[in-house]
Structure formats: structure tokens, C-alpha cells
Structure 1
């Protein structure tokens, strides 16, 4: 009875906020003028777009709309016939902490008009209702916009799941909604009646034997022999039942032809890895030897390593050591794990890896800890310095000379922290020959940290020798560094 009451309340809520008709008479002529400018461009754009980072005129139109339109006008404009106007109007309202934005979002759960978007270098299309939700999602679109709280998001997820809508946000809502028996019937209905693939993935989390055949018989439209199972694999990852394993083994064999690769394989390897046993390990070992094409093999191994980062098990220890030792594939999570298993072996591999850091295939996956303050290279270097300081100092000297632009700042920073005199010569040599501003500026900061007059004179001599230190933005930044530290 409680379940039925909840559903009824949800339907009443969504119908109560059915989208109203736009009333043009409520908009002043001054605001209409700005609205027409936005309509003419008809694209939702951020403040900096394309690879050049240019500021588009449309952003100026948006800012003028924010300044010109009143609160009541912006609320009315969220029902404007043009989707881009609706989106900018809602965005403008999101800065107003007193407006009931949640009510407006609920009013637009069926607002699935596609609009063109350009945010930075990324262009595409977005449904208006999805954009409304993104504006109110923490860490999305605009950090200054008002955001929904946890309770509101839970209600929004329920509305997205239990009401008829075509928003892309529904996919995430289905995955987030509680896996309770009260929700099971609705989830299954979405799959059986709408063929909602996200519902199949959620259904698998219930681990019900009665759903095994549904999962095995699922296939999305795809022209390739082994394709069309993206969500099937995802579902199996949530429900690694032994009855699925023969299917996974058969599918894996279809990927080993050396002619192509597919992003679906990422989910195939996740599904296999989710079993966390010896049989799964043996299947994950197959691509190491049976895929001969170098580039295709790399795709396979990258996907396997990604899966092993997510589905950690001591059954996969052999694979993780193999990937690090033979393929140079490592991640912060795996490094920490393997170091705890065998610190001596990890130390020896760390020394080998750090002798050629530019070749290290460092994988940082979304499920790693973003709050980690040290990079993997820094963790490795610290381990070496703690266990073998002389070798660590030697590594820093060598990598000052040969590191690429991505790795060099680490060694320059370590040089400034340790301030060993043996670092001065290779750092000065960088200043005398380097063209890349990011590298020579890092080297300059490291040398300045020594606070030594003789070193400062060598920095000035390097500027005379290397014309790269005197031109373009790098030259200006170099001069500024010297001026700030009184080096003349």
C-alpha cells in the first residue's frame, strides 16, 4: 500500500508542474530584443569556445539577458518556444538563490528538445531538460549556480524513474535509485516495455535467477558479429553468475582476429573480471599471446588493466605483476597494492620503471582516489629516495636531462626540495639549450630555490646563450621570475 501511495504522489507531483504556455505579453520590449539575439545564434555556448578559447558573441548576449531581464521575466522565459532561450534563462535564474529552481526542473522533465551546444572545444547536442538538471548538479556547468541538495536529488531520481520521460538523466537515475524490492517491479517494467538498457543493468543488481534468461537474450542493434552486448556485459558485471561465463568465453574468442577493436570490449573484460576466480584469470591471459597485431593487442591490454583496477582480487595478482613488468602498465591503486604484497619486488620494478619514466604507461582511472596529492611518479621516486638515496639522486640527475614536458616538473621540484649541488649542472644545461618554456621555467624555479649568488649568475649567463629565454610568453615569464627574485 505504501508503494502505491508513493507512486501516486509522484505522479501527482509531476502533473502539478506540467509545463505552462509561454506568455509573450509578460516580457518587456527591452528583454525581447536580447532574446532575439540569442534566438538568431541559436546555440548554447560557454564563455570560452573552440581550441582558441575565444569569447563568443552569444556569451555577451547571455550576460546582457542576465542584466536586462527581471526575475519574473526569466521565469517566464524558461517556457519560451526556443530551447536555447529556455536554457540561458534557466542558467541566469540559477544565480538567484531565492528562486524555486527545483520546481522549474520538475516542470521540464518532458522538455526533450535537442539544442546545439558548444562548451570549450566540445560541441554537441543536449536536451533542454537535461541541461536544466546539469546546471543544478554539483561540479557541473557553473560552480556559481545554485545546486540541489541530496534530498532533492533523491526526489528527482524517483521522478525520472517513475514518470514517462525521454531525458538522458533517466539513465543515471535508474542506476542511483535504491535497489529495493519496492523498486524492482518498476525497473523490470522499464526493460520489458521500453527496452531500457539501463534498466537491464540495474535489474542485474538484484541477482535474481529468474532474470538470467532476460540478460542472456538481450542484444542491442549492431551490425558486427560480436557487437550489441554493451549493456549485457554491464549487467553481467553486476551479476557474475556461472551461467553467463560460457557466453563470455565465446564472445572473447570473437575479438581475437587482429582486424579491429571495439569499445564494447571494455565492458566484456569488466564482465569477465567481475568473477574474480581462476577461470576468469585464464580468460584474461588469452589476449597476451593470441593477439598478434601490436596496436590491437595494446587496446586489449589497456581494457584488461582497466577491469583489474576495478575488480581487485588476489586471483589477478599474477596478471598485475605481468602487466607492470612486461607492459609497463601501472596505476596508483595497483602500485600501492603490489607494494603491500611484495615490497622488494615492487622496489626493483620501481627502479626499472623510473629509469625510463617517459615510457611508463601510467593509468589513472575514474575509480582511483582523486584526493591523492602525489602523482604515481612522485610516489615511486619517494620510495626510491627512501630506500636508496644515492640511486634516487642519480635518477633525478638523469631525468632532468631526458624527461619530457609532462615529467620534467617532478624532477625540477624534487631538485628544489633536496637542493643537492649535483643537480645544478644539468639544470643550467637545460637553461642553455631548451626551447620549451614549460621546461626551462621549471628549471629556473628550481635553480632560484638554491638562493645562491653564483647560481644566479649562471642563470643570467644562460639567458645570454639561449635566445629562447628571451622571446615570446616564455621569455616574459622568465624575466618576471628573475625580477621577482631580485636577479639582475
Structure 2
């Protein structure tokens, strides 16, 4: 891209967008004040031509790329899909601030959400193109993306995809192990069990998420060991691990799994009990089975507490 292809006015607005350095909504912070960047964006929207926006996709600053792509999506630009495809390997970081929530994402993930998750539906992205997009993101090895990880975790276990997903898992992608578990092949036992035995709880969590898809007896001792350690803890709780622990455990739907729930209610430390009860409740609401009848009643929640849980978890 060449700067002389942009109007002077657009160039000045770009300089202000870069100086602020983040993408924002119309309100930021606890007070909900309007940031200067929102005014800059509105000016950018009013002044930049569609031709300039297409050129600015090649701009070196991620904020300019993302704002330009957002506007092209809003304008229903016919080149949206090709622009998105050509940007899938762009993993450069971009910072966002919406209300009180600040975050860091990647340009490719921002582009994907701009098309699939935010704003008006772009009529140039057809269902067929969506499928092409998902396939490119999933199986092009040089694409690093949170959306790719989400696809790997939620992918349907089609026979023709097994080898490719397994290769991604073998290359260290933990989300691919979760997707791979849906095939329920004993050949993949080691990949899952390695995660369950990892020294870090944040990695064990992925193993438990895989077990939700493959609740085989070969993982039972690993589940029991994780469970015992967690109910004995009196602090430094890993809430995500506990949540995934019970959602994996209740997939077994057998007397042994019920015994572990009873063990929690009888032996969890006083400081841990609150969290274990809540995550047992979540697991049983999401994955009910008659073998667990009576467990929720044993937790002695009041009607007020149950209403709060249902509101918080939207279950």
C-alpha cells in the first residue's frame, strides 16, 4: 500500500487512530465515558472511501486493519470473503476496550468475528463459503487462531477428518485432543492420559474436557486421583479444573461416579465445599441421569440459592 493513494483527510484520521492504539466501543471504563477513539472511528467511517478501506487492509498497524475490515463488512463489500481468506495467517495482536472489558486478540480472529459474530450478516459470505472458511482454518497448518481452537473442540467426528485432527493433536494442540476424543479410539488414549497426568492443572483441564467426549474406564483412575487431590485442598482452587472434573465424572453414569460425588459432599474441606457443590450442581443440570437422583437434594440448597445458581449459569 502507498500513502499517496489515501486522501490527506483519511491520513490524518489514521494517525489519530494509531496514536490512541486500541479499538474501542462508544463507552469505556466504569463511568461509561466516550473515548476519543470512538470519535476518531466515526470520522474514519464518514471519510474513508471503500477503495481506501480495501487498501488499508494492508496497513502495518492492526487497529487500522481491523477498523477498515469492520467497515467493509458493514458496507457489504463483495470482496469480503477473499480479504478474509488472505488474512487468516495474520496473528498480530490487537487490543480492544468495550465498556469495562479490555482484551487482546489477533487480527485474524477479529476479522472472523467481524464477519460471523458481529454486525449485520454479510450477504457475500454464503453458507458454502462458511464451510470453506472453516476447512481452511482447521487444516491449514500455519494458521494460529482462537477460532481454530474452538472449531477443533466442537468439530463433528467425521471419519474423513480423523487423521488430520490426530496430526494436529500430535503436534501439540490440546484443543485437537478434545475433538479427537469424540472418535473414542483406544489409539488416542495416551494423548488424553498425558494431559490428565500433566503437572499443571491448566493442562489437566484439557484432559478432563477430552474425557467428557470419551468417558472410558481406562481414564477412571486418573479421574479419581484428580478428584481426591481437589477435595483435599483448602486454598488456591482451580475453578475451571473443578468445573471440568465434575462434568467429565458424570459422563460415566455408573455407581462408582455417584460414590465420588457422595465422597465430595462428605469429605471436601470446609473452604472447598462451596465450589465443589456448585460445580456438581452445574454438571448434573447439564448432564442429568437418574443414577444421580438425590445428589442435588443432599446439597441442601435453599430456593433462593437455587434461583441464584440458575440465573448465574443460565441453566
TM-score relative to the length of structure 2: 0.92
Other-structure match for 2:193: 216
Aligned to 2:148: 170
Aligned to 2:289: 313
Q: Which residue of 1 aligns with 2:227?
A: 252
CA contact (8 A) 1:306 1:365 kept: no
Name the counterpart of 2:260.
283
Contact 1:34 1:64 in 2 (8 A): yes
Give the direction of change, closer, same or farther, for the CA distance of 1:124–1:220 in structure 2 (3 Å limit).
farther
For 1:105 and 1:220, locate their aligned partners in 2 and report how far apart those are by CA, in whole Å.
39
- Contact 2:264–2:276 under 8 Å retained in 1: yes
- How far the C-alpha of 1:100 sits from its partner, in A, is 2.4
Q: What is the DSSP-based 3-state SS (H/G/I as helix, E as strand, rest coil) of the residue aligned with 2:103?
A: strand
The one of 53, 56, 61 equivalent to 1:74 is: 53
Structure 1: how far apart are the matches of 2:37 and 2:95?
13
Q: Do the aligned residues in 1 keep the contact of 2:91 with 2:145 (CA within 8 Å)?
A: yes
CA distance in 2, matches of 1:165, 1:65: 30
User: Which of 198, 204, 210 is the matching residue for 1:235?
Assistant: 210
Aligned residue for 1:55? 34
Correspondence list, 1:49-448, <5 A: 49-138=28-117, 140=118, 143-144=119-120, 146=122, 148-163=125-140, 164-193=142-171, 195-218=172-195, 222-223=199-200, 228-260=203-235, 261-262=237-238, 263-293=240-270, 295-323=271-299, 326-328=300-302, 353=303, 357=304, 360-364=307-311, 368=315
SS in 1 for 2:221: helix
State the Cα RMSD in Å.
Answer: 2.0
Contact 2:231–2:272 under 8 Å retained in 1: no
Secondary structure in structure 2 of the residue aligned to 1:52: coil
Contact 1:49 1:118 in 2 (8 A): yes
Could you tell me how far 1:38 is from its partner in structure 2? Answer: 0.3
> 2 CA distance for matches of 1:200 and 1:365?
29
Partners of 1:116 and 1:126 within 8 A in 2? yes
2:105 aligned counterpart, secondary structure: strand
The aligned length equals: 311
Separation in structure 2 between the aligned mates of residue 228 and residue 173 of structure 1, nearest angstrom: 19
Q: Is the 8 A contact 1:310 1:367 kept in 2?
A: no
Q: Against the structure 1 CA distance between its residues 94 and 360, is the aligned structure 2 distance closer, same or farther, given a 3 Å change threshold?
A: closer
Aligned CA distance change for structure 1 residues 146 and 198 (closer, same or farther; 3 Å) = same
How far apart, CA to CA, are the structure 2 residues paired with 1:327 and 1:221?
A: 34
1:78 CA drift (Å): 1.2
Flag the 1:145–1:95 CA change in 2: closer, same or farther, 3 A.
Answer: farther
Unaligned runs of 5+ in 1: 1-21, 329-352, 369-488
Higher Cα radius of gyration: 1
2: CA distance, partners of 1:207 / 1:56: 51
Gap change, CA 1:220 and 1:322, over 3 Å in 2:
closer
Secondary structure of the residue aligned to 2:95 is strand
Residue 175 (structure 1) shift: 2.9
Query: Is this contact kept in 1: 2:195–2:204, CA < 8 A?
Result: yes
Select the structure with the greater relative contact order (CA < 8 A; seq sep ≥ 6).
2
Contact (CA 8 Å) 1:42, 1:84: kept in 2 or not?
A: yes
CA distance in 1 between counterparts of 2:289 and 2:106 reads 40
Q: Which runs of 5+ in 2 are unaligned?
A: none
Give the CA deviation at 1:246.
1.3
